[in-house]
A and B are shown apart, each in its own frame.
Chain A
Amino acid sequence: MNTHKKHGFWHRYFFSLDHKDIGFQYMLTIFFMVSIGGFFAYVFRMHLAFPDMKVPLFGLVTNKDYNMLITNHGLIMMMWLALGMLLAVAGNFLIPIMIGTDDMAFPKLNKISYWIFLLSVILMIASFFMPKGGLGVGWTLYPPLSVGDFGYNTPYKSFADRFFTANTFVLLAIAFEFTSLLMGGINFFVTTLNKRAKGMSLLKMPMVVWMINIANLLFMFSVGPLVAGTFMLLLDINVGTGFYDAYRGGDPLLWEHLFWFFGHPEVYVILLPPLGILAEIISVNSRKPLFGYKFILTLTLIAAVLSTMVWAHHQFVAGIDPRAATVFSIFTIIISLPFAGIILAYIATLWKGDLRFTLPMKWALGAVALFTLLGGFTGLHLGASVFDIYAHDTSFVVAHFHYTLFPTVIFGSFAAIYFWFSKFSGRKLNQTLGNLHFWLTFIFFNGFAFPLFLLGLAGQHRRIADYRQFEFLMQDPLPLYRKIATISAVILILSQFIFLFNFIWSLKRGKKETEDNPWQANTLEWQTSSPPPHGNFKVYPVVNYGPYEYNRPDKDKDFTPQNEI
């Protein structure tokens, strides 16, 4: 079907229009961003546990450094890792090949959206090197602190003085990144609707394709207010308008509403693609159809609608009307129900399954367990507005969102990488290193995040550079918890080097993947060669079966590829 020849380095990494290459470009860019975010986490965790120590590779951490590190850690991990990895990378790699087509509907738009993403990364990195230093106002960028004068406590003189600040650059970076993801999202959406293989009805699409598209819709719906809010904040900083200035008719709460109106759906934008990835992996490795395909889909749509009505649970004590908080508390608690249904459906898929404990399955089971038991259930604590009065802005919240985001974003991404690596590279990842990587990550993630629950319950508030200021936070055993969390976090970060080595080494020297379909999976990406050619398929597949027809009684083997006749 295609006659593309092999391209050189520049072509492959800068000008390629192939969705797989663009996905790979996104992935490498995001690896780069994550290594910065992870390094920041290492520095401030070390500082929290050992406040007087000169942190190796960084030096002494001042309060200003500390604020800058936590802010940029949050921004990078939320905006560039989570959103980028799960929308851009997963969408690019998976959507065209799983729906059985050659490429995106608009390959050039796809290319441009990557370039804009790259621009946003450059702006973000540039913000660290502004004359007054990196941004140190918390990743939620609440004005008036983020408007500038208050963040640094020095008056501004000229427009250039205002423009060349971290505040401006970070906001521009965010705006560009959202532009990029919007363009990517439109592309995914059109591709999914118009380019599906013959015979693939909407209900024969793999769950991950559904989930990425629902996440994209949710993103498109919620991002508008934040982009408008970002623009107003840019004007406040650079032109001196007063949208968020209470003394000039504005209101700082306006930003909080606009931010969280996006910020909470964003959590579900991040959550849905990994849920889709888990659906694929759990079904393949249980050798059973995904239990309740339509049921999961319905619940996901319900959850997506509900997720737009819960944002103010971030603001229970932020100065909103307490009666409004009751409404948001009810919606927040109710949103646990669809997710409980989805998780139970995944567990039902496991029951009576012929389980295979492959590496991706380990990551998937780990993700389901941690996300449900410690991420989801503590959401009930925080959704109950009364306990949130106490727990808001404490380490309890930090532990909660690390337990929701880490299992989904990181475990989900690793599950996907270990699952699809051989398909896209044609080589296998080393299994021993993979197992080591999984167990170290699993154990030390818990070692890092669980003590934060206890610290939060003891009243440790967030974003404090030096807890020695507070006598009640230095009583035993709280410093010990801080040290356990830090040491675990450091080992957690170090063990990612095992993965990095495995990834790079296997890409070049790994064992060749001899089979096209090593997992005996049904979906279309496994029915072409590994790696797939530019254009993905030698012959366009025609779909006859649903994506999860494992152990069909009328077939001899235990799987039925979607394009089997």
Chain B
Amino acid sequence: MKIFPENASSYGGEVDFIFWLITGVVAVASVIVIFLLLYPVLTRRRKLTKTQRYQKGEGFRNLRLIYLGILLLAIADFFFLYKEGPTWTKIEETLPDKEFHVAIIGRQWLWEIVYPGPDGKLYTADDVKKINQFYMPVNSVVHMDIQSYDVIHSVFIPNARFKQDALPGRNITRWVKMTKTGTFPLSCAEICGIGHANMKATIIVQNKEDFKKTLTKLYKK
């Protein structure tokens, strides 16, 4: 049984790794918590004396096991943060040199993908616009200028483990590098009105030669 959809981006594996790391540690912690809960429930120590029962839990000595539990969780927490920090920086805070640049603009209820024209520059007169069709070359860093005309949308590419809200009045540049050719879904993950459920685009990842042909075709139209 598959848990995640197929990973097709350069950083998707790292996102999945964080999930499995946390899940693994949490699974161990869960076993401990289940034991701690079930042991008193199943044994029901009926014969203890009043003095043994009258435990108010004051002072460090009596609370030491709880402090130990908190300490262990703290170590696990900071280990997660230590492990995920570099991935966050990589996906969200840095922009590797671009090999292709598009603008992806949300509007009720479709995605406009704006490709640079023959001059290779975005936001010039010869730009080409496609609705809901997002072509990109494989194994290349693609910069996406994420924008919105009207309400908040959200670019969600499950196979790339990528998501970014598109806000009106703002340009947010993020990157993705797909490592597999094929078609992948792109959906809107932020409720944007009646047509929210229908708002989707297709990502078509092609090898570099096919992609060049596609671009030439786009320019001809």
Q: Smallest Cβ distance from B171 to chain A, in angstroms? A: 10
Interface flag for A372 (CB, 8 Å): yes
> Contact at B194–A373, with CB atoms within 8 Å?
no
> Contact at B191–A384, with CB atoms within 8 Å?
no
Count chain A residues whose beta carbon lies closer than 8 angstroms to a beta carbon of B. Answer: 93
> Contact at B40–A345, with CB atoms within 8 Å?
no
Stretch of A37-45, A176-184, A247-255 on the interface side = A247-255
Which of chain A's residues has its CB closest to B71's CB?
Answer: A337
Q: Inside 8 A of B14's CB, which chain A residues have their CB?
A: 386
Q: Smallest Cβ distance from A541 to chain B, in angstroms? A: 22
Q: Inside 8 A of A381's CB, which chain B residues have their CB?
A: 19, 22-23, 26
> Contact at B63–A393, with CB atoms within 8 Å?
no
Stretch of B81-89, B114-122, B136-144 on the interface side = B81-89
Interface flag for B198 (CB, 8 Å): yes
Interface flag for A352 (CB, 8 Å): yes
Q: Please classify the interface of chain A as helix (H, G, I), strand (E, B), loop, or mixed, using the class held by over half of its residues.
A: helix
Q: Inside 8 A of A459's CB, which chain B residues have their CB?
A: 4-5, 158
> Contact at A386–B40, with CB atoms within 8 Å?
no
Interface flag for A514 (CB, 8 Å): no
Q: Inside 8 A of B152's CB, which chain A residues have their CB?
A: 142, 144-145, 252, 318
Q: A67-B194, A350-B40, A387-B22 are in contact. Are A322 and B57 (CB under 8 A)?
A: no
> Contact at B53–A294, with CB atoms within 8 Å?
no
Tell me the A residues contacting B by CB distance below 8 Å: 63-64, 66-67, 136-138, 142, 144-145, 150-151, 153, 246-247, 251-253, 286-295, 317-319, 322-323, 325-326, 329-330, 333-334, 336-337, 340-341, 343-345, 347-348, 350-355, 365, 368-369, 372-373, 377-378, 380-381, 384-387, 389-390, 392-394, 454, 457-459, 461-466, 469-472, 477, 548, 550-553, 558
Q: Inside 8 A of B197's CB, which chain A residues have their CB?
A: 63, 66, 464-466, 469
> Contact at A291–B55, with CB atoms within 8 Å?
yes
Stretch of B72-80, B123-131, B205-213 on the interface side = B72-80
17 extra interchain contacts, Cβ-Cβ under 8 A, other than A246-B167, A252-B169, A369-B37? A67-B191, A67-B196, A142-B191, A144-B151, A150-B150, A153-B108, A246-B168, A319-B172, A329-B84, A337-B74, A344-B36, A347-B36, A350-B40, A384-B18, A464-B197, A472-B158, A558-B50
A330 vs B66: C-alpha distance in the bound complex, in angstroms?
22
Which among A151, A345, A352, A392 is the interface contact of B45 at CB below 8 angstroms?
Answer: A352
Contact size range, B: 35 or more
Interface flag for B216 (CB, 8 Å): no
Q: Smallest Cβ distance from A441 to chain B, in angstroms? A: 19
> Contact at B54–A292, with CB atoms within 8 Å?
no
Interface flag for B93 (CB, 8 Å): yes
Q: Inside 8 A of B170's CB, which chain A residues have their CB?
A: 246, 319
Interface flag for B97 (CB, 8 Å): no
A329 vs B37: C-alpha distance in the bound complex, in angstroms?
29
> Contact at A354–B45, with CB atoms within 8 Å?
yes
A-B contact count (CB 8 A): 268
Q: Smallest Cβ distance from A73 to chain B, in angstroms? A: 13
> Contact at B3–A344, with CB atoms within 8 Å?
no
> Contact at A389–B54, with CB atoms within 8 Å?
no
A36 vs B50: C-alpha distance in the bound complex, in angstroms?
49
> Contact at B77–A333, with CB atoms within 8 Å?
yes
Which among B37, B46, B57 is the interface contact of A354 at CB below 8 angstroms?
Answer: B46
> Contact at A341–B163, with CB atoms within 8 Å?
no
> Contact at A386–B84, with CB atoms within 8 Å?
yes
| Selected A-B contacts with CB under 8 Å, 17 pairs | A64-B194, A150-B150, A246-B167, A252-B167, A288-B54, A293-B57, A293-B58, A319-B170, A329-B88, A333-B80, A334-B74, A345-B57, A347-B36, A351-B39, A352-B53, A393-B189, A394-B189
> Contact at A393–B154, with CB atoms within 8 Å?
yes
Q: Smallest Cβ distance from B134 to chain A, in angstroms? A: 16
Which of chain A's residues has its CB closest to B47's CB?
Answer: A354
> Contact at B200–A350, with CB atoms within 8 Å?
no
> Contact at B88–A386, with CB atoms within 8 Å?
yes
Central interface residue in B54, B170, B185, by most chain A CB within 10 Å: B54
Which among B33, B54, B168 is the interface contact of A372 at CB below 8 angstroms?
Answer: B33
